[in-house]
Amino acid sequence: MRARVCAELTVFLDRQETLLAEVSADLAPVIAALREFLEGGKRMRPAFCYWGWRAAGGDHGGDYGDGNGGVAEGDRLGTGSGAAEAAAVRAAASLELLQASALIHDDYIDGSDTRRGAPAIHRRFERLHRDGGWEGEPERFGAAAAVLLGDITLTWCDELFTRCGLEAVRIQAARPVFDLMRSEVMAGQYLDVLAQARGLSVSTPQESLARARTVLRFKSAKYTIERPLQLGAALATGTADSPLAAALSRYGLPLGEAFQLRDDVLGVFGDPAATGKPAGDDLREGKQTVLVALAAQQATRAQTKALRTGLGDARLDEAGVETLRSVIAQTGALAEVEARISELTQTALAALDEAPVTAEAREVLGELAVAATARHG
């Protein structure tokens, strides 16, 4: 699946490169940067979208589901046996462009230097400015480039989805899910920025935890698993509102929350070789995660002081990172999050057992649940 998504993105970027070249040769660094940026990633969102499609009855021959997990006979797209599936993979691949947009903007917002072990987009274009000896401030140029490249990938996401090759009626049926997913992730991003600005000092521990859970759900959990699943199912069934969509939500939402909780743990305790980001970056950025909020809720006075002093300090060294890690572990926050990950994953798997999906989809979605919550990067 990963290879097929990569192939679709390559074909799409080849076409976009031709269009940009007609505008100006100066746009060559833009397409080169986006090609490299899109090379990485687990392709998790396309995988869930595709298996939402398969769960609804979409298959290699182009059959579509009836909304209850069964295949609607005679409802096919195209004359080739794999025409519908190829179009579904193409639609799923569009989610990588949405992910790219979110990450490019997120890295600039957070002031991150790297992404997947390579320079973040704004840092890459700062360097381009410096190497060229151009006028003005490299940082401002890098920031502008990151905003614009994030915008163009968001635009391209819509373009690839709309032109994936499925019937217009199916695209239209899935459009409400697609639009809602994009709105939710942007809203969640704003709430994340707001939570960081408020910090621990202006909120009670209970308020911080409630906000962290809201950010977790809308910035990541929904758009990583629940919405991609529902999007794929809507493309297959021709409706966004079906018993299957509700069943997929019961599986996808708790799993998405477990996935983000795991990501929060990796952001503090993960191996940089696996995560692609320096150890403790989430702490330096002042991320108000559930992990941090739980620690603040249960901290002693001395531990609270350590959290408020160190969290959000861009100059936090390894010793400072280790101090905050110790606080998070000693307060029991780490153990509580690990327990919650296990609980949410089991809830998702139990919902999957009851979902009206094909046996193959149930097996693969079970494997994806394990992959999404694994204890490594």
Instruction: Report the distance separating Cα 340 and Cα 336, nearest Å.
Output: 6
Instruction: Report the distance separating Cα 356 and Cα 157, nearest Å.
Output: 30
Res. 246 pLDDT band, cuts 50 70 90 = very high
Q: Is the dihedral of CA 77, 78, 81, 87 positive or negative?
A: negative
Higher pLDDT, 209 or 161: 161
What pLDDT shows up at residue 276? 72
What pLDDT shows up at residue 202? 66
What pLDDT shows up at residue 62? 41
Rg of the chain taking only CA atoms, in angstroms = 21
Number of alpha helices (DSSP H) and beta strands (DSSP E) in the chain: 17, 4
Q: In this structure, what are the phi and psi dihedrals at residue 297, rounded to the nearest 5 degrees?
A: -65, -30
Higher pLDDT, 142 or 64: 142
Contacts of 345 (CB under 8 A, 6+ apart): 254, 255, 258, 369, 373
Res. 79 pLDDT band, cuts 50 70 90 = very low
∠ at Cα 48 (15, 72), nearest 5°? 95
Instruction: Report the distance separating Cα 263 and Cα 269, nearest Å.
Output: 10
What pLDDT shows up at residue 367? 96
Tokens coding 4: 């097929």
- What's the mean pLDDT when you consider all of the chain? 90
What pLDDT shows up at residue 344? 97
Quick check: 137 pLDDT over 50?
Answer: yes
What pLDDT shows up at residue 275? 74
Contacts of 223 (CB under 8 A, 6+ apart): 45, 98, 181, 182, 184, 185, 188
297 neighbors 267 (Cβ within 8 angstroms): no
What pLDDT shows up at residue 91? 98
User: Which of 288, 377, 289, 303 is CA-nearest to residue 336?
Assistant: 289
Res. 68 pLDDT band, cuts 50 70 90 = very low
Higher pLDDT, 314 or 148: 148
Question: Which DSSP string do the residues of 167-206 spell out, in sequence order?
Answer: -HHHHHHHHHHHHHHHHHHHHHHHHHHHHHHHTTTTS-HH
Res. 190 pLDDT band, cuts 50 70 90 = very high
What pLDDT shows up at residue 42? 86
What pLDDT shows up at residue 242? 85
Higher pLDDT, 273 or 80: 273
Tokens 């997913």, located at residue: 181
* Model pLDDT for residues 101-128, shown as the tens digit of each residue: 999 999 999 898 988 889 999 999 999 9
* Model pLDDT for residues 4-28, shown as the tens digit of each residue: 999 999 999 999 999 999 999 999 9
Quick check: 373 pLDDT over 60?
Answer: yes
The residues with which 71 forms a beta bridge, in sequence order, are: 65
Helix, coil or strand: residue 357: coil
Strands (E), 259-354: none
Instruction: Provide the CATH topology of domain 2-372.
Output: Farnesyl Diphosphate Synthase (1.10.600)
Quick check: 74 pLDDT over 90?
Answer: no
The residues with which 118 forms a beta bridge, in sequence order, are: 115
Q: How many CA atoms lie within 13 A of 238 on its CB side?
A: 12
What pLDDT shows up at residue 64? 37
Tokens coding 90: 């193409």
Kindly state the percentage of the chain with pLDDT values over 90. 77
Tokens 């572990």, located at residue: 329
Quick check: 138 pLDDT over 60?
Answer: yes
Tokens coding 244: 């299957």
Q: What is the 3-state secondary structure (H, E, C) of 99-135?
A: HHHHHHHHHHHHCCCEECCEECHHHHHHHHHHHHCCC
Amino acid identity, position 170: R
Which pTM value belongs to this model? 0.90
Res. 334 pLDDT band, cuts 50 70 90 = very high
What pLDDT shows up at residue 59? 66
Range among 54-63, 70-79, 281-290 rated most confident:
281-290
365 neighbors 352 (Cβ within 8 angstroms): yes
What pLDDT shows up at residue 232? 97
Please give the C-alpha separations between residue 200 and each of 66, 75, 192, 287, 324, in angstroms, as whole numbers. Answer: 49, 55, 13, 10, 14
Lowest pLDDT segment from 74-78, 88-92, 329-333, 339-343? 74-78
Res. 240 pLDDT band, cuts 50 70 90 = confident
Res. 81 pLDDT band, cuts 50 70 90 = very low
What pLDDT shows up at residue 70? 37
Amino acid identity, position 7: A
